[in-house]
A = this chain, B = another copy of it.
Amino acid sequence: MNNFVFYSPTEFVFGKDTESRVAEMTAKYHGTKVLIVYGGGSVVRSGLLDRIRKTLDEAHISHIELGGIQPNPTDLKVYEGIELGRREKVDFLLPVGGGSVIDTAKAIACGIPYEGDFWDFFIGKAVPRQALRLGVVLTIPAAGSEGSGNSVITKTDGLKKLSLRTPEVLRPAFAIMNPELTFTLPPWQTACGITDMMAHIMERYFTNTEETEVTDRLCEGTLKAIIEEARKVMKEPRDYGARANIMWAGTIAHNGICGVGCEEDWASHFMEHEVSAVYDVTHGAGLAVIFPAWLTYMAGHHARKAAQLANRVWNVPESDNLKAMALEGIEKMKEFLHEIGMPVTFKELGIEHPDIDLLVRKLHENKGELVGNYVRLDRQATREIYETANR
């Protein structure tokens, strides 16, 4: 196990009707002038936004709004939010939505007090030292952004989709999580979220760090719970218990507890980011295509952990043939992904002829000549993985 710092100071307020506590929590963390950030119509249609406005009004907390955040959120809305926030002197960000909305709010939160271009943080030119505080009302469990210090933004000019990781500065002060708010999520979006949280765990689980038994077991246990609860929630979208387990699993998957003391991988996420940046597909669906292909490469080149995953999560019997174990686990994973309605090939994702040359080129331009850590992947390896996903 490597040395690590684990620091997850977010206050998670979880359960039925918890959105009624949004003003109380905002006041607790000293928000007085709030910028509410949200996406499309669903938080409007459901009346959630109105309820939040009313709660803030009653507590005499002033608020303004930035709506229209799209999936795969871009820098344009971040610039708009920074300008608006500065002009109106907001001191607190309140994203209401899922990962795209929260990630946009985070970029705004560190962009407002920064004199340069916020994009500097995403290309590694500068490190955010301070940020406005934020609280989250989560409506789409998937990205885990409610408990992480991370943000992923796409630069419109050049379609660069890059991520920022700053655990100290950008962790939300609080996250309000009411599973009932997810009852109306369409099956596709539910399944994409489930796939994304599973990927967040596996990106950490695949490590060469030795002696990570506690963390391994937390990863495997959370994956098993997700698989079981996912089957329930796809059958019965209004099953509160299943929605609650899925929602909480999304936080566990990404608040860092599943990766303490490990060198993490993240090649699959980086490979998927190129796919969704170019083809504007949903991130989780992209991962459903990339992850089994990535695992197939691992089965052939470094099967140990893939075999352990197959055994402990997918109930593949132990054997001396680690590669065969790993491959059987991948088949079970693909069956599961199909069961919840996910694609597992580019074709199933609706991309008939992916431009693999372009994907490989952009990936290595953005992330360097070697990607990932469990196996360091060069251009030939990532090409092979994209091609496997195209079969």
Contacts and interface: CB of A to CB of B under 8 A. Distances in A.
A88 to B, nearest CB: 30
A265 B280 CA distance: 49
Most chain B beta carbons < 10 A, residue from A6, A242, A245: A6
Interface stretch (A56-64, A89-97, A223-231, A374-382): A223-231
Contacts of A15: 1-4, 261
Contacts of A252: 214, 218, 257
A210 interface: yes
A336 to B, nearest CB: 16
Nearest to A252: B214
Contact of A244 (B6, B13, B211, B229): B211
A12 interface: yes
A135 to B, nearest CB: 13
Contacts of A32: none
A12 B6 CA distance: 5
A245 B213 CA distance: 7
Given A14-B260, A221-B220, A257-B257, A214 B249 contact: yes
Interface string A226-248: 10110000000000111011001
A373 interface: no
B211 A217 contact: no
A91 B174 CA distance: 27
A189 interface: no
Given A213-B228, A225-B213, A229-B213, A5 B13 contact: yes
A11 interface: yes
A41 interface: no
A6 B249 CA distance: 13
B1 A241 contact: yes
Number of copies: 2
A5 B14 contact: yes
Given A217-B224, A221-B221, A248-B261, A11 B7 contact: yes
B217 A221 contact: yes
B9 A242 contact: no
Most chain B beta carbons < 10 A, residue from A5, A6, A213, A229: A213
A374 to B, nearest CB: 19
Interface string A204-222: 0000001111111110111
A311 interface: no
A338 interface: no
A277 B201 CA distance: 43
A196 to B, nearest CB: 16
Interface string A94-113: 00000000000000000000
A1 B15 CA distance: 8
A54 B216 CA distance: 38
Nearest to A223: B217
A1 B247 CA distance: 12
A388 interface: no
Contacts of A244: 1, 211, 261
Give the top 3 A-B pairs by smallest Cβ distance, nearest first. A211-B241, A3-B15, A217-B221
Given A1-B15, A4-B14, A252-B257, 17 more contacts: A1-B241, A1-B248, A3-B16, A5-B13, A7-B10, A7-B11, A8-B8, A8-B9, A9-B9, A14-B261, A15-B261, A211-B242, A211-B244, A212-B245, A214-B245, A218-B222, A248-B261
Interface of A: 1-16, 18, 210-218, 220-222, 224-226, 228-229, 240-242, 244-245, 248-249, 252, 257, 260-261
6 contacts: A4-B14, A8-B8, A211-B241, A214-B226, A221-B221, A257-B257
